[in-house]
Amino acid sequence: MGRGANILTPVVVGGILYSDDAFTGAYVGGRLWFEFLSERRTFHFYGDLSFTARCELRREVPFWYAYKKVDGKLKKRYLGKTSDLTKERLRRND
């Protein structure tokens, strides 16, 4: 499993968050997961397919997007607001 350029970016594998801080072991969809999302702006997701999720502010509201290279081109897909980022939602976008 390649981690890309930044090995410090948190990852989600099997519905569990792995980071270098107190959020490690948080289950996607749980209280700590949503705390993590309110404090961080990016993570890698590994499922059947993988992507990098990034938070972008639009009129001060955080929206999450998935980024993945497909055939040499960077593709962007809307994931939703922070409250939408459940395990099921992430799996639908992988």
Beta strands 42-46 and 11-13: pairing type?
Answer: parallel
Confidence of residue 55 (pLDDT cuts 50, 70, 90): very high
- Give buried/exposed letters for 39-48 (b at 16+ CB in 10 A, else e): ebeebbbbbe
> What residue numbers bound the domain in which 47 lies?
11-92
**Region 17-43 average pLDDT:** 94
Kindly state whether residue 80 falls inside one of the protein's structural domains: yes
Kindly state whether residue 48 falls inside one of the protein's structural domains: yes
Kindly state whether residue 65 falls inside one of the protein's structural domains: yes
| Res 54: pLDDT | 97
Kindly state whether residue 1 falls inside one of the protein's structural domains: no
Kindly state whether residue 15 falls inside one of the protein's structural domains: yes
| Res 36: pLDDT | 96
Kindly state whether residue 6 falls inside one of the protein's structural domains: no
Name 33's Cβ contacts closer than 8 Å, sequence gap at least 6: 17, 23, 26, 27, 85
Measured at the CA of 32, the angle between CA 40 and CA 11, to 5 degrees, comes to 55
Higher pLDDT, 8 or 57: 57
Kindly state whether residue 34 falls inside one of the protein's structural domains: yes
- Has residue 63 got a pLDDT over 70? yes
- Nearest CA to 29 among 18, 16, 11, 13? 16
- Has residue 93 got a pLDDT over 80? no
Contact yes or no for 79/66 (Cβ under 8 A)? yes
Tally of domains within the chain: 1
